[in-house]
Amino acid sequence: MTFQSHAPDTPMPVVDLAIVEANLRRMQAYCDQHGLKLRPHIKTHKIPDLARRQLALGAVGITCQKIGEAEVMADAGIDDILISYPLIGASKVGRLGALAKRAHISIVADSPMGIETAAAAARDAGARIGVLVEFESGGARVGVQSPQEALALARLITQTPGLDFLGLMTYPLGERAAAFLVEAKRLFEVEGIAIPSISAGGTPTAFSAHNVPGVTELRVGTYIYNDRNTVDAGAAGLDDCALHIEATVVSRPTENRAIIDAGSKTLSSDLTAGGAARGYGLLRDYPEAVIVKLNEEHGIIDLSACKEKPALGERLRIIPNHVCVVVNLHDEILVHNGGSDAKMVRIAARGLTR
């Protein structure tokens, strides 16, 4: 047996830049066609060069989930950043203020305390910070519950020195968004407060965002790579998945069982809507196989439904269920352009959860 010394070590996330480029162009074209501003979320890729490419194609700015991600992007020279996560308390004030000194920063809030945090940061920085009011449109996550609450927070923002009211936002774009926005527009108009932007997020619903009257901006992240969940949602096909995990079969203890060197520390423990029966990722070359269990470093594959089965030492390609979590588990990825010019790239903002 001969071994290919030039092959990348496994487990390894591998990204096809040709597919990335096609995915980026597709989303930008959709937004351009429907008059939507695109503000892509970098939480999926966490790499400044990819954020710059999104901007070069027409994005108006970027979205980050945490201050740490925004700091990395600001260090890379990106100067229009929305932090789409509630920032609460004194521990956030200093870092947010420091960011506001070197970039155009906006944040979201669904409470007076979030507005107070932004106001304190603006005072420290001697700069202005934009604020969007987040509303909940069916996702049962964060966000005010009524247009009346949104109006009260917008009024507070307009009355607070150092802050600018930038509009409304929601994630994911839920079934209650349209009705919420109709009532909100009526209330805001009576109050005399303009709503400059209505920002919606979520790759699975991205290509129907134009059907919700009033939406002006789209925040999406997963679309750059796509994953099994995105495919299940009908927002992409398997050939649109730009990232796969390359793993090696390290054991074949029985005819119907294979063990790979990718466990929960590589693939994450996220399942799809189909649950455990569909496993912890899709094997591109053996779609009937099911990754039935993950230990930290072991992936156990059930091969009983496969006519052909992988051999010991064989390399397998796995489409992750949820690519955003997978990327954050790795320090670097191998990127190539359609199979050529492969190189390692550091995931600069990985692990930055504060």
Q: Where are the alpha helices (DSSP H) in the chain?
A: 17-33, 48-56, 67-75, 90-100, 112-125, 147-158, 177-191, 228-232, 264-267, 323-328
- pLDDT (0 to 100) of residue 15: 98
pLDDT digit string (tens) for 336-351?
A: 998 778 999 999 999 9
Task: Give percent of the chain above pLDDT 70.
Answer: 98
| Cα–Cα distance, 31 to 215 (Å, whole number) | 11
pLDDT digit string (tens) for 309-325?
A: 999 999 999 999 999 99
Question: Positive or negative CA dihedral for 117, 155, 136, 44?
Answer: negative
The domain made up of 34-225 is a member of CATH 3.20.20.10: yes
- pLDDT (0 to 100) of residue 224: 98
User: What residue ranges do the domains of the chain occupy?
Assistant: 34-225, 236-346
C-beta atoms surrounding 269 within 10 Å: 12
- pLDDT (0 to 100) of residue 6: 59
Say yes or no to pLDDT of 7 above 90.
Answer: no
One-letter amino acid of 40 = P
The domain made up of 236-346 is a member of CATH 2.40.37.10: no
pLDDT digit string (tens) for 36-69?
A: 999 999 999 999 999 999 999 999 999 999 999 9
- From residue 332, alpha-carbon distances to 218, 262, 277, 350 in Å are 28, 15, 30, 9
Q: Is the pTM of this model over 0.85?
A: yes
- pLDDT (0 to 100) of residue 34: 98
